[in-house]
Amino acid sequence: MNDRSESNIDGFFDKIISSYETKIQKIQTAFQSSETITESSNSLFDKVHNSLNDLRKERDLLNFKLCETVAKNASLRKKDYNAMMSGILSALDEKEKEAENQFLIFIEAQKETAQSLKNSLLSLKDITAQDSKEKITTIKEQLSQISELQEMRKESAMKTFIDFQQMHKKIMECLQLLLKKGDHILIQDIKKIKEQIIKEIYPESQVLKGVN
């Protein structure tokens, strides 16, 4: 075999190897993208979950201080105060769960998307080089669509969380104003604040069944 023939053969194999390595690199990049989708979503959920825990601790502490204050000045027994506020606190807990569940739904959707992408990538090993090239192009387009859909889902989940956060802030401000009255807190004051809180939790209704 002459040098020219050997050169052509070497070039042929170099081209195949180069093509294969490029394909593998593209697959690895896509896999990393699918993993990033899930990892970033989980990271976001952890931050939201921790934030919701902080808000719950804040309202539990403030409610405890109010309970102690009204019991101390004999305006209302602890048992009666807790009975009066239990409906509101339960409603807040439900709103918190709604916000957290939105993120759980978001996470599950991201996991399903990532798995679907992985399945598409694994199918590359059983097709020809030409078909593989076309498939990779399709997957790139899929990744772009996934990014857009991911952003829309994240915005929806974040809106639910931010709405809860803002509502919670207003309610805490109401309770803090009540607490500032100290020994001068009256039952009428608690009832008035309770009505304001109900309006914050249920802005579309003035009446909350089971809380009044």
- Looking at residue 22, its pLDDT comes to 56
16 has a pLDDT exceeding 70: no
Q: Which residues contact 15 (CB under 8 A, 6 or more apart)?
A: none
Instruction: Spell out the SS3 assignment of 42-88.
Output: HHHHHHHHHHHHHHHHHHHHHHHHHHHHHHHCCCCCHHHHHHHHHHH
List b or e across 31-43, with b for residues whose CB sees 16 or more CB atoms inside 10 angstroms.
eebbeebeeebee
- Looking at residue 64, its pLDDT comes to 92
- Looking at residue 17, its pLDDT comes to 43
- pLDDT category at 60 given cuts 50, 70, 90 is very high
Q: pTM to 2 decimals?
A: 0.66
Q: Which CATH architecture has domain 3-201?
A: Up-down Bundle (1.20)
5 has a pLDDT exceeding 60: no
Residue reference for tokens 């604040």 = 193
What is d(CA 113, CA 152) in angstroms, rounded to the nearest whole number? 14
Residue reference for tokens 């996470």 = 107
Query: Model confidence over 79-124: pLDDT tens digits?
Result: 988 888 888 888 889 999 998 888 888 888 877 777 777 777 677 6
Q: Which residues contact 90 (CB under 8 A, 6 or more apart)?
A: none
Instruction: Determine the residue type at 201.
Output: I
What single string gives the DSSP state of each residue in the chain?
--HHHHHHHHHHHHHHHHHHHHHHHHHHHHHHHHHHHHHHHHHHHHHHHHHHHHHHHHHHHHHHHHHHHHHHTTSS-HHHHHHHHHHHHHHHHHHHHHHHHHHHHHHHHHHHHHHHHHHHHHGGGGS-HHHHHHHHHHHHHHHHHHHHHHHHHHHHHHHHHHHHHHHHHHHHHHHHHHHTTGGG--HHHHHHHHHHHHHHH-TT-S--TTT-
**Cβ of 85: how many Cβ atoms within 10 Å?**
19
- pLDDT category at 61 given cuts 50, 70, 90 is very high
- Looking at residue 200, its pLDDT comes to 86
